[in-house]
Chain A
Amino acid sequence: MLKKLYHQFASPKTYVVLVNKMYPYIFYFSLCIYTIALVWGLAYAPADYMQGNSFRIMYLHVPASFLSQSLYLVMAIAAAVFLVWKVKLAAYMIKSIAPIGALVTFIALVSGSIWGIPTWGTWWQWDARITSTLILFIMYLGLISLHGSFTNFEKADKFISVLVLVGFVNIPIIKKSVDWWSTLHQPASITLTNKPSIDPSMLYPLFFSMIGFSGLIICLVILSSKVQIFNREGNKSWVKDHV
């Protein structure tokens, strides 16, 4: 029974039918939440005592940075699942997440640079946090081009999965860079162990923005994964009806 369920979920067809059903709900829900978060954060939250209004870019910067790392984590899990169990859907997911991951990492880098000008007085410095995030961006690009350089898809899936797992080592480095080394970037404001060091009036819209932005990015991943499934399984009869 459990085995049957697992095999069903791992089939691209069940996945497509499921996400097709969920897609409109996720999209409109996240769009509403992110709109609320932006209006709340940009218009109603108070200005910061040190940074004034420029801190408001955090409602884009924080969710984008959060997703740049979480999407990689999802890719790493998919890579392990693919290498051990040879689940094809997992391989398709890696391929579909990589460009979205590159996009959010790019947003994180650009919004961080824009934030840096009024606060730090510079838009780029080679500190550990900024450099490790740039490496993450380059890794996403590398994964995309590596997969594209193979003519044999099966081989490409295998190589890309190995590379995703090797590159995963960068994720804890990004996370801990602000604690292990001195950086220009601030240490984490929200941690699992301590009370957030952001005032609730600024924190609630931040939570909303993280949920809403994540939902919108999940929608992009769904769309991108359907393209992958169409590319790889387009000759199968069910694809025409569902994708």
Chain B
Amino acid sequence: MNKIRKKRLVSVMTLIATSFLGVYLILSALNSNLDYFYTPSEIINAEIPNNKRVKLGGMVQMQSVIRDGTNISFNITDFSNSINVSYNGVVPDLFKEGSGIVAYGMIVDNRLIAENIFAKHDENYMPPNIKIPSE
């Protein structure tokens, strides 16, 4: 490899390294601000002020779903803490006890008044007749 090409190769490497370093610094400064939702533990520890809109994500706690007409109330849990969520409207098809859910709404006295409910689905795909492997 001749001298000019070697020099160019070094500049190309420097260019790539600099852009990676720059973006790494930006991302580490943003840190968890890029997270899509908070977990129940994060919300409880952060003591979010009343009437602030947040996205809360976790699992729908087993045996916590109470339906009353179109009103629905349930707990979102991360298995160490849970927060009660109430919502008026149609929940997505994938909403089930034990399934992953993201609720968007206002925190009022450590309860979440949801305006939107989104369902998360995990990376597992299988036919319905196969028994779901227990965790």
Contacts and interface: CB of A to CB of B under 8 A. Distances in A.
B121 interface: yes
- Range of interface residues on A (Cβ < 8 Å): 35 or more
A199 B125 contact: yes
B118 A122 contact: yes
A183 B36 contact: yes
B8 A83 contact: yes
A103 to B, nearest CB: 25
Interface in B1-48: 5, 8-9, 11-12, 15-16, 19-20, 22-23, 27, 32, 34-37, 39
Contacts of A52: 93
A159 interface: no
Interface stretch (A19-27, A32-40, A139-147, A165-173): A165-173
B120 A49 contact: no
Interface in A110-144: 118-122, 125-128
B15 A184 contact: no
Contacts of B127: 46-49, 199, 201-202
B35 A162 contact: no
B23 A169 contact: yes
A201 B127 CA distance: 8
B7 to A, nearest CB: 9
A166 B35 CA distance: 24
Contact of B130 (A121, A126, A168, A199): A199
A182 to B, nearest CB: 5
A78 to B, nearest CB: 12
A197 B120 contact: no
A165 B12 contact: yes
A239 to B, nearest CB: 28
Given A84-B9, A181-B35, A165 B123 contact: no
B124 interface: yes
A121 B92 contact: yes
A188 to B, nearest CB: 6
A183 B55 CA distance: 11
B15 A186 contact: no
Contacts of A49: 126-128, 130, 132
A51 interface: yes
A120 B36 CA distance: 14
B116 interface: yes
Given A46-B127, A47-B128, A199-B125, A121 B117 contact: yes
B62 interface: no
B92 A120 contact: yes
A9 to B, nearest CB: 17
In the A-B complex, the 3 residue pairs with the closest CB atoms: A121-B92, A46-B127, A127-B36
6 contacts: A83-B8, A120-B118, A121-B94, A183-B36, A186-B123, A187-B122
Interface of A: 46-52, 55, 58, 80, 83-85, 118-122, 125-128, 162, 165-166, 168-169, 173, 180-184, 186-189, 197-199, 201-202
Given A84-B8, A84-B9, A184-B36, 13 more contacts: A48-B125, A49-B127, A49-B128, A50-B124, A52-B93, A122-B118, A125-B36, A173-B27, A181-B35, A182-B36, A186-B120, A202-B126, A202-B127
